A and B are shown apart, each in its own frame.
Chain A
Amino acid sequence: MGNSALDLLGQSSAFYKFAAEIEQQNHTEDDFIYFRDEMHYKNIKLVELPKGDFAFTIARQFFFSQYSILFFELMQKSSNTTIAGISSKALKEVTYHLRHSKQWMLRLGDGTEESHLRLQNAVNELWNFTGEMFYTDATENLLTENKIIPPLDLIQSLWKEQIEDCFSAATILLPHNGFQHSGGRIGKHTEHLGYLLSELQILARSYPDAKW
């Protein structure tokens, strides 16, 4: 898990670096990461939830990696060459992230009674957080129109197919489509993000000149 986390940090860092570059306000990636408050983070809620038990962590990773593969596969064809470059790099990495979590999905789901139960519970709990992965607003639509990012509705149906394939092999039941969380993408988060950010940001905010 640590290795996957490291890749995700690297990918975010590359995107933030690029954001700082096009913003032209003399910011660095660190300004975005350490000096923004919760409401300015636009991540989906799925990724800020506490890690839970191992089944929960694996199921979340599986949902996210399966999404990332489809997303980066299309985004490596972005009309923006920097975004295309970072995406082609990221795609290789999320491919083995998926390999890791998918193997565990199969093992846990088709494993013992206990592991099956825990995975099914985790999937049921996480399912309501997956809809937000396909949220779009005016900004996304504009980026899609300009072929900078791929159309998310295209990814949604593919994602669901892949998830269903894995569930059937792992003997996991697809939860009913009900209420779906939203809000993360407009800066309205669960309480968990605040705790994560305080741990992440305390050093940089207490000692703004701290150097590695």
Chain B
Amino acid sequence: MTQEQILEYLSAIHDPEIPVLNIVEMGIVRSVSFKEHQTVVTITPTYSGCPAMRVIEEEIIATLKEREIENVTLKTEYFPAWTTDMLTATAKEKLQNYGIAPPRHIVQNELVQITLPQKITCPYCLSEKTKLKSAFSSTSCKALYFCENCIQPFEHFKEI
């Protein structure tokens, strides 16, 4: 069993709140290593209180068990803190096609700004005539925007 194989198995697990992305391309799975007879999977939370993390941990154990990998240890690592920049380019494209405006690349110190960026491109019609409606949407990690060009609401995966 190699690290690549395990990562491939884990790629079948999707984020329950953003089902279009798997936990490897999200950057949640940080590494796989072997220690004596243990398989150590190191993960990092996207948000400290993300309710999906518990489900994801259970699914990692269950998925590997199906492949007859029994001795699995999960390690949570906080540093370096997860950022939306850890989403792969493919992941961002998938989000866009799914109807969620992907996070933009983080410009240094932008986090300290008091207002959210107003100009987010609509994932449906690519118009920039969009307005922030709520800083929090169906989940903490997304904001709700409205596109005035195609007259429909959409979500934006916020940069953190």
* A residues in contact (CB < 8 Å) with B: 3, 5-11, 13-14, 81-82, 84-86, 88-93, 95-96, 99-100, 102-103, 212
Determine whether the beta carbon of B82 is less than 8 Å from that of A89.
yes
A88 and B78 in contact (CB under 8 A), knowing A6-B49, A93-B47, A99-B114?
yes
Taking CB atoms, residues of chain B closer than 8 Å to A103 are: 114-115
Q: Are A10 and B47 in contact (CB under 8 A)?
A: yes
A165 shortest CB reach to chain B, Å: 11
Q: Is the CB of A82 within 8 A of B78?
A: yes
Residues of chain B contacted by A93 (CB below 8 angstroms): 47-48, 160
Nearest residue, chain A, Cβ from B112: A95
Name the B residues within 8 Å of A88 (CB-CB): 78-81
B49→A85 contact, CB < 8 A: no
Chain B, interface SS category:
loop
Q: How far is the CA of A85 from the CA of B50 in the complex (A)?
A: 17
- Nearest CB on A from B54, distance (A): 8
Min CB distance, B109 to chain A, in Å?
A: 11
B79–A84 touching, CB < 8 Å:
yes
For window 70-93 of chain B, which residues contact chain A by CB distance below 8 Å?
Answer: 76-83
B45 contacts the other chain (CB 8 A): yes
Interface residue range, chain B:
20 to 34
* Chain A minimum-CB-distance residue to B158: A96
**Besides A10-B47, A92-B160, 20 other CB < 8 A contacts?**
A3-B136, A3-B140, A6-B47, A6-B49, A6-B50, A7-B49, A8-B49, A10-B48, A11-B49, A13-B49, A82-B78, A86-B48, A86-B78, A89-B79, A91-B81, A92-B111, A93-B48, A96-B135, A99-B116, A102-B114
Least Cβ–Cβ distance between A79 and chain B, in angstroms? 13
The answer to whether B140 and A85 have CB atoms under 8 Å apart is no
The verdict on B51 contacting chain A, using a C-beta distance below 8 Å, is yes
Chain A residues in 8 Å Cβ range of B83 = 92
Indicate whether A95 sits within 8 Å of B111 (C-beta atoms), given known contacts A3-B140, A84-B79. Answer: yes
Contact call B115/A99, Cβ cutoff below 8 A: yes
Q: 27 A-B pairs, CB-CB below 8 angstroms?
A: A3-B136, A5-B49, A6-B140, A7-B140, A13-B49, A14-B48, A14-B76, A14-B78, A81-B79, A84-B79, A85-B77, A85-B81, A86-B48, A88-B78, A88-B79, A89-B48, A89-B79, A89-B81, A91-B81, A92-B83, A92-B111, A93-B160, A96-B160, A99-B116, A100-B135, A102-B114, A103-B115
